[in-house]
Amino acid sequence: MQKIFPPTLHDRGVIARWRAWLPDITDATPVVSLNEGSTPLIHSPRLSALVGRDVRVFLKYEGLNPTGSFKDRGMTVAVSKALEAGARSILCASTGNTSAAAAAYAARAGLACIVLLPAGKIALGKLVQAIAYGAKIVTIDGNFDDALQLVRELADDPAIAIVNSINPHRLEGQKTASFEIIAELGDAPDAHFLPVGNAGNISAYHRGYREWLTLGRATRAPRMIGWQAAGAAPIFHGQPVAKPETVASAIRIGNPASWSLASAAVAESGGAVDIVSDDEILAAQSWLARHEGIFVEPASAASVAGLLKCVRQGGECHAPASGTIVCTVTGHGLKDTVTVLDRAAALAPPVPAKREAILAALDEN
Ligand SMILES: *Cc1c(COP(=O)(O)O)cnc(C)c1O
């Protein structure tokens, strides 16, 4: 059979770049990739200055993955393994980004994709993605936790592969972000801040850092500092939240699937899980866009909101007084435009297409 793509065209994806550290991947695994990963690690001079003279803050900009979130890193591995295992369809519950990634990688692989979405709780851009990539969408009267429970109940058909983060291949793919950070900084950071929803990503990052520490490719593993939204903070409170509520829909989760893995990651790294309010999340989202030119979706801003909270609180917070902090910003701002538009002032009516009219309009602003 003629190969459509020479292998060199796939040499930039997560599997191609980090294959040596992905034991799930064998020669028998058909690689399904969209050249995900290798996202920018952007130095933030303004955040660094806010936190302290001896601190360098970097943003791992995961919104620049092919479907606009870090979910692509796990999905390339999960969908490749599903194809290898002979699955015909993939299935997931989603707050939006998992379904966007699943639908895209399924299309790439020639698999059907079924997504269960909590009705009315998905950011529009993410829903648009699932539609555009041709997923079969079922919306349910219930929240994400209900949808994930239903996915578990549908798990018995061998032709259907579940690609939620309860699929262990997902976390394997996601751990590669830590490798990229170490490769770029020359060592692991001192602290790593990230939003926590279903708690897979904090577990995956920790695993990546630990693996390279063990191999001597880094001299330390960072303290993992996870941020939950105040209205959806089961790990922080130590008990499930029946009706999680937050503007940050990607972390609106009341009973995280990777709760115990995340707790272990936090304990082993000397880290913490803490909370930020919706106002703090939205303020951080706006701050990041206006001060650094980086537009992220609300959930992504939770990591930066946490750092800004640390700055306000001073001493007793989770930011080290010196060294390097990485904040993962997990998804692209264009996925959730309504949240920004709802808070923006209405656009003024159009003015005549004349120089004077423009100057007058600018004067009024
Ligand atoms: C999935 C997601 C999260 C939460 O990650 P978990 O692994 O579920 O903790 C955060 N931000 C964005 C943009 C996401 O898509």
Q: What is the pLDDT of residues 172-189, one digit of tens each?
A: 999 999 999 999 999 999
pLDDT of residue 57: 97
Q: Which atom of ligand 1 is nearest to the CA of 174?
A: 7
The whole-angstrom separation of Cα 29 and Cα 82 is: 9
Q: How far is the CA of 248 from the centre of ligand 1 (A)?
A: 10
Q: For all residues of the chain together, what is the average pLDDT?
A: 94
Q: How far is the CA of 201 from the centre of ligand 1 (A)?
A: 7
pLDDT tier, 41 (very low <50, low <70, confident <90, very high otherwise): very high
Q: How far is the CA of 345 from the centre of ligand 1 (A)?
A: 29
Q: Bigger pLDDT: 212 or 321?
A: 212
pLDDT tier, 8 (very low <50, low <70, confident <90, very high otherwise): low
Q: What percent of the chain stands above pLDDT 70?
A: 96
User: How crowded is the C-beta side of 195, counted as CA atoms within 13 Å?
Assistant: 36
Does 59 score more than 50 pLDDT?
yes
Q: How far is the CA of 194 from the centre of ligand 1 (A)?
A: 9
Residue ID of nearest Cα to ligand 1 atom 13: 331
Q: Which atom of ligand 1 is nearest to the CA of 63?
A: 13
Residue ID of nearest Cα to ligand 1 atom 2: 250
pLDDT of residue 1: 45
User: Which of 201, 228, 328, 329 should be mutated for ligand 1, with most atoms under 8 A from CB?
Assistant: 201
Q: Which atom of ligand 1 is nearest to the CA of 194?
A: 10
Q: Give the type of residue at 35.
A: N
Whether 326 contacts 181, CB under 8 Å: yes
Mean pLDDT confidence for 121-150: 95
Does 314 score more than 90 pLDDT?
no
pLDDT of residue 158: 87
User: Which of 97, 145, 266, 334 should be mutated for ligand 1, with most atoms under 8 A from CB?
Assistant: 97
pLDDT of residue 2: 46
Q: Bigger pLDDT: 365 or 142?
A: 142
Does 114 score more than 80 pLDDT?
yes
Does 11 score more than 90 pLDDT?
no
243: tokens are 């009706």
Q: How far is the CA of 156 from the centre of ligand 1 (A)?
A: 26
Nearby residues of 141 by Cβ (< 8 Å), 6 or more positions away: 119
String of b and e for 290-308 (b: at least 16 CB within 10 Å)? eebebbbbbbbbbbbbbbb
107: tokens are 């299309």
Q: Which residues lie with the beta carbon below 6 Å from any ligand 1 atom?
A: 69, 71, 97, 165, 195-201, 250-251, 297, 299-300, 330-331
User: Which of 59, 70, 127 should be mutated for ligand 1, with most atoms under 8 A from CB?
Assistant: 70
Does 277 score more than 90 pLDDT?
yes
pLDDT of residue 208: 98
User: Which of 251, 294, 327 should be mutated for ligand 1, with most atoms under 8 A from CB?
Assistant: 251
Q: How far is the CA of 145 from the centre of ligand 1 (A)?
A: 14
Does 27 score more than 90 pLDDT?
yes
Does 107 score more than 80 pLDDT?
yes
Q: Which atom of ligand 1 is nearest to the CA of 226?
A: 9
Does 6 score more than 70 pLDDT?
no
Rg (CA), the chain: 21
pLDDT tier, 347 (very low <50, low <70, confident <90, very high otherwise): confident
pLDDT of residue 103: 98
pLDDT digits (tens, 9 = 90+) for 139-157: 999 999 999 999 999 888 8
Residue ID of nearest Cα to ligand 1 atom 15: 97
Q: How far is the CA of 95 from the centre of ligand 1 (A)?
A: 9
pLDDT of residue 317: 80
Q: How far is the CA of 270 from the centre of ligand 1 (A)?
A: 22
pLDDT of residue 364: 82
Angle between helices 71-84 and 97-109 (to 10 degrees): 40
pLDDT digits (tens, 9 = 90+) for 201-247: 999 999 999 999 999 999 999 999 999 999 999 999 999 999 999 99
Residue ID of nearest Cα to ligand 1 atom 14: 250
